[in-house]
Amino acid sequence: MTQRTLALILMSAAQTTCARGTQAAPLRLGTTTTVEQSGALALVDSLHPPMPVRVVVGASGTILRSAAAGDLDVVVTHAPSLEQRLLVEPGRAALRCPFVVSRFAIVGPAADPAGVASARSAADAFRRIANVRASFISRGDSSGTHIKELFLWKTAGVIPDGLRNSWYVQAGGDQAATLRIADERAAYALADLPTFTRLQGISLRALFTADTVLGNPYTLYVIRSATGNTDAMQFSTWALGEWRTRLLALRLPGDMPAFVTPLPPRECTVPVAWGGAGAARAARAAGAAAER
């Protein structure tokens, strides 16, 4: 498995270390490259979660398929349509918790040859890029960012066929790598705004953010195969409390919040395909933690 598609990060805290031979297996947390590259993941270790955690980082599509196969206990992803298809509909999600929302930006060179900054909507911005055949760098990796990008092209009425359109390039890399390619080529790209603002040494500008469709919702799921593992439920309660509180305090340049609470605020839910009194209690507990 390549480093580009999955990276393993071993995280542990001294207070969670048990005696040799009695240490529980670490919780398997899957999350996305934007969670890592935005700085959100680094907080997990610094906040000392209540159990050892092994983190798997990759594109949302890769993480969700691993979760569906039972290889992860908890996931935090930002690809709602894939989450529904791979986890919720097949009954593989035991608990679904709206977590935080960031924002996408359409970024590009300061010269802005497509006039993206004056677009009326995100779809209009994409249409303008296609109309002038301005270079656009896509992640092309089934990530949440890539799925959002494809939705925007469809809304714009554009089919960005990389085989026929030389202006459309699929990088097949993570968010940071894609943005660096876009910077080198003075091209446009879709970027997670918290990740974009942390990236150093590029001259791209955030040209367009003013469309509600550019909201980027992250959802936490406890995977059904992990429901016998009380650590998974405990971690979800901790994440919705301590981790989310710290994420909501992060600021972008200009004192804009990097992450906001989903609106309207929603509690964790137990998908219809799975239930039981224990799961219902866990959902209520996680929801209560989210309100604190």
Return per-residue pLDDT of the chain as tens, 292 residues.
Answer: 333 333 333 333 333 333 333 457 899 999 999 999 999 999 998 999 999 999 999 999 999 999 999 999 999 999 999 999 999 999 999 999 999 999 999 999 999 999 999 999 999 999 999 999 999 999 999 999 999 999 999 999 999 876 678 999 999 999 999 999 999 999 999 999 999 999 999 999 999 999 999 999 999 999 998 777 789 999 999 999 999 999 999 999 999 999 999 987 778 998 866 544 444 454 444 444 444 4
| 79 three-state secondary structure | coil
- Give the count of beta carbons closer than 10 Å to the beta carbon of residue 7: 15
pTM: 0.84
Whole-number pLDDT of residue 162? 66
With residue 255 as reference, give the H or E element that holds it: none
Going through 132-274 in order, the beta strands assigned E by DSSP cover: 136-138, 168-170, 189-192, 205-208, 215-223
**Quick check: 195 and 155 in contact, CB under 8 A?**
no
Whole-number pLDDT of residue 9? 33
The whole-angstrom separation of Cα 292 and Cα 288 is 7
**Quick check: 188 and 108 in contact, CB under 8 A?**
yes
Whole-number pLDDT of residue 16? 36
Whole-number pLDDT of residue 267? 84
